[in-house]
Every structure is written in structure tokens, then in C-alpha cells.
Chain A
Amino acid sequence: MKLVKITSIFRLSLQDISQYPAETLVRIFDNVFLSILILMVWRTIYQLNQANFEMLNQITLFYLAMPIFSSISGAWHGYYVAEEIRDGTFSRYLLQPISFIVYYSMQNLGEKLYKILLMIPFIIVAYYLFKPQFQISLLIIGISLLASILSWVFSFSLQTLVGILGFWLEEVSSINELINIATITFGGRAVPAFLFPALLFQAVEIMPFRYLTSFPVEIFTQSLTWNEITRGFIILFVWLFLVIFTSMILWKQGLKKYGAVGG
């Protein structure tokens, strides 16, 4: 029975997003354009200064893979959860036999699947334009996919935490913007972590932002040693635990507050 509920939400999410292809195409263009834009800056830097071809190739692959991996690991429901808490519609999750986490995760997966399918032609065109050369083993593909699924769980948990903050805060979009800035800056969206100076890389390695997007892409582009991959997984698990633990505590406190407000 529970599986039926879950698949229904997933199906509804797919139906909902496929009704508005223009909106999805804009999102995809947005995602791919940003990656290509920064890729062009890096290619110019490397080509004009005749820097090493291997690194340029790795950077190209990184930015072409980034839109797909960031789509897999992306989550964005924090704002909507906070809005529902604010306007009271969140009560439906407390009254109906379905958790808001299951609801939003299935909705997220439905949207994600549709977006990734539509994104593939864009990536093929971009691949054809930039022609990166690479050889990749099934093992690396498997590990990077595992890392991107864990990144999604982490990203989803962080967004849930942001949403739960809606019990106390008037609006959470600024928090999301700050997370976004930190992810672009330190999380590898603008600059791959393997291009950071060594000391900065060590600092970025322990920050949570890299694990929201860039870590799986770094594995995929084979920019990390096995030690760095292992360390990355450990740090990712620590952050995941911290975020889930904090969310559970805040959820209990917030629910009491929500009950009091709703009477």
C-alpha cells in the first residue's frame, strides 16, 4: 500500500512537470549555460597561456559532467516547506498518512528524472562542441554514481533542515541564497576543487558545500586519489549525520511550536 502511495506521488510529479516543458527547458538551459560559461573562461585562460592539455581536458570534462551530476544531487524543497509552515498548509502532512519527507523526495525524484532526460541532448551538443577525451572504468562510474546519490541524500536533508527553520523564521530564501553562494564558491561549481591551492583544498575538503555538488564530479573526472575519495566519503557521512541529527531535534521542537500557533 505504501509503495502505491509513493509511486503515485512520483507519477503525479512527472505529470505535473511535463505539463510545463517551457519552464523545465529554461531551468536546463540555465544549468547548462552556467557550466559552459565558466568552462569557456577556463579554456581561454589555459589556451592563451598554453597551459597543460591534460588539465584543460579534465576541466572540460568536469564542466560537461557538472549539469548532469548537479541535477542528480540537487534538492530545492526547503523554501516550499517553510512557506507551507508559514501559511499553515503544512498541517496536511500531519493529518494525512504520508510524511512530508516522502512526499517531497518523490516529487524531487520525478522532476529530476524529467529534467535529466531533457538535458541529455544539450550535453551531447556541448560534448560535440568541446570534444573532451577520456577513458573511464565501470568502477569509477559506479563510485561517482554512489557519491551523487549520497550527495542527493545530503542535499535533500540540508533542504529539509532549511525548511524546518520555517517554524522560527519568517522567510528562509536568504539562507538558501547563502548556501548557494557558498556552494558556487567553495563547492566546486565555479572552480573545481582540484584547482585550489593545496591549503585551500584542505579547508574546502572539510566544508559541507563540496559534497552538495562537486564531489561526485571530481570522482567521475578522476581528479582524486583513492585516499581523497575515501576521506571524502567519510566527511560526507559525518555531515549527513550532523544534518539529519539537527533536523530531528529541530523537527520535534518546531512541531510543538507549530501546534501552539495553529491552536
Chain B
Amino acid sequence: MSHYSRGALKIDGPACLILALEELGFKPEYHETAQNLRGYQGDIRPEVANVIIPRAQISSAANDIGFYFAPGGECEAIISDFDSHRHGAAWVGKVKQLSGVHSALAKAKALGHRAQRVAGEAGQIFVRVSGSL
């Protein structure tokens, strides 16, 4: 017997987002209180974020990239027009995918389940959960 549910993927908190960004080679900063992003000249931008990739980790001409968590938990990626050429929708999608994988692995661990991550041929990632289900 089988059953499945399907829906839009969400970023479930900063911890799994940070793991996803680390997997992509960044060392993001976390701020419980959202901080202003900085532009490529070090200028303070009006946008604020809880998880920030400092511009120095992106390129010499880049602005900070941020992720803001609203009080309801929704996460918004804040990326300048300039940086969206390299870190646009496809990159944000990859971040969401990896964040979801880490959320699933963390949930499995919390529930005492076994979880195995498997890479798919078409770019998908599978997490297989077993144990005391």
C-alpha cells in the first residue's frame, strides 16, 4: 500500500538553511535580530536579514545576500539585481532543495528514524526514511 503527499517546499528555519548554504561553500552569518545588508562599497542597505552571506564570500563586486525570516516563519531571499545574475531563481531553488534535505534529515534524527540521502540522476535528491515508523 502506498500514499503520497506533494506540495511546495518551504525553508523551515535558519539552522537547515545555514547547512544548505555551507554545503554550497559559504560561511553565512546568523543574526537572531535581522541586520541590515551591506552593498558592494560597504554601504548600509535598508534591507534586513537573519542569515547573511557577506559580500566578500561572493565576489569583489557583490552585495550581501540575505534571507529574512518573517515572524510567521516565512523565509524571503534578498538578492540585488546585480547578484541575481549568478544567484538567481535557480540558485535559490538549489538552496531550498538542500535546506529541505537537511530539514528531513534533522526530523528523522529527532524522531529516532534512520535516514539515507540518495542523489537522483535528474538532479533530484531522495531521502529514504526507515526504522520505527
Asked if A pairs with B, the answer is no
User: Could you list which residues of chain B lie within 8 angstroms of chain A, going by C-beta atoms?
Assistant: none
